[in-house]
Chain A
Amino acid sequence: MFGVPISHVLIVSTALFFIGAYGFLTRTHLIMVLMSMELMLNSTCLNFIIFNKYLFPGTQDGLLFTLFIITIAAAEAAIAIAIILNLYRNFQSVSPEETTTLKY
């Protein structure tokens, strides 16, 4: 059918997840951190779809979980952007290094 072994597809999704993790650890702007998180969630969705396709064809459980993950990602992005806008109003910057009111 698809002609590609499962390990190659899994390597793609794993690489995408750790690219997102790298961005999450190194970015200096909160919106960029949010984008890295979207990448990680996206690779998780891809993983669910891959296992549904290769190991359990004929069922739809992975697909439904992907739907739930996409919904949660949308809700999380909306709340995170509201928080970022509020931070920008209070601190005039959205760098995680400069918003240090809750530190110590």
Chain B
Amino acid sequence: MHQIIFYTISAMLLISGILTVTTLKFFRAAVYLLATLVLTAGIYFMMAFNFIAIVQIVIYVGGIVVLILFSILLTSTPGAKVDKPKWKNLLSGLLVSLAGLFITSYVFTGYVFKTIKTGPENMQVKSIGMQLLNIKSSGYLLPFELITLLLLVAMISSITIAVGEHKKPELIKTAPLSDTIDKILEEINSENNLDKPASEEIDDKTALKK
């Protein structure tokens, strides 16, 4: 039973992966990518890695695919198509991927893995957290801290890249309140000054008429 489900899931996984890299429409590619990620989460569920499956669905499907869809919406019209790849690129891509696939699978099918068969263990989230924040043997505190720094740097730099160079420096400078009041007063005065010659002209005209 497990085997049937696994082979079905992996066949669907490979088909949706191939469609992701071959379809010419943006939205279809994004939806096929979403299907691939969800099916990968299904394989994690089958291997009893529930926590990582949930993380995969939340971050990849809920975060990255939605981000990609947003960027597609911002940079292209709906229903737009990508250009077809050049023959040279197509040929080299096919060559590299097929050769890599055959060489890699030849290498690891010839190797005998010492698999250990155990019953289904239920992995506690608490033990994951304990190992993640442990500084003793097999603890992962240093990579954890580095990842937090990396996330901070990524957030700052993406904001800087996306916003930068579009605000003019005059908009950033804010004059103090007294200066703006002075400017308003000057404007009012100049308006009055403008009014005076106009009224004088009118006076002149009326004088001429007289």
Contact = CB atoms under 8 A, between A and B. Distances in A.
Interface residues of A, number: 72
A27 B52 contact: no
A99 interface: no
Given A81-B71, A85-B74, A86-B161, A75 B131 contact: no
Interface string B1-45: 011001100100110011011100010011001001100100110
A78 B154 contact: yes
B161 A55 contact: no
Nearest to B80: A29
Contacts of A8: 10
Contacts of A24: 93
A49 B123 CA distance: 13
Nearest to A46: B40
B47 A19 contact: no
B66 to A, nearest CB: 10
Contact of A2 (B2, B127, B151): B2
Contacts of B22: 23
A4 B2 contact: yes
Interface stretch (B98-106, B167-175, B177-185, B191-199): B98-106
A17 B115 CA distance: 23
A7 interface: yes
Interface centre among A3, A53, A61 (most CB of B within 10 A): A53
B190 interface: no
A28 B82 contact: yes
Contacts of A78: 67, 154-155, 158
A79 B75 contact: no
A4 B3 contact: yes
Interface in B52-85: 52, 55-56, 59-60, 63-64, 67-68, 70-72, 74-75, 82-85
A58 B100 contact: no
A42 B150 CA distance: 20
Contacts of B7: 4
Contact of A23 (B20, B120, B162): B20
10 contacts: A22-B21, A23-B22, A38-B68, A42-B36, A50-B47, A53-B49, A71-B150, A75-B151, A81-B71, A82-B162
Interface of B: 2-3, 6-7, 10, 13-14, 17-18, 20-22, 26, 29-30, 33, 36-37, 40, 43-44, 46-49, 51-52, 55-56, 59-60, 63-64, 67-68, 70-72, 74-75, 82-85, 89-90, 92-94, 96-98, 100-101, 104-105, 108-109, 113-121, 123, 127-128, 131-132, 138, 140, 143, 147, 150-151, 154-155, 157-159, 161-162
Interface of A: 1-4, 6-12, 14-16, 18-29, 31-32, 34-36, 38-39, 42, 45-46, 49-50, 52-61, 63-64, 66-68, 70-79, 81-86, 88, 94-95
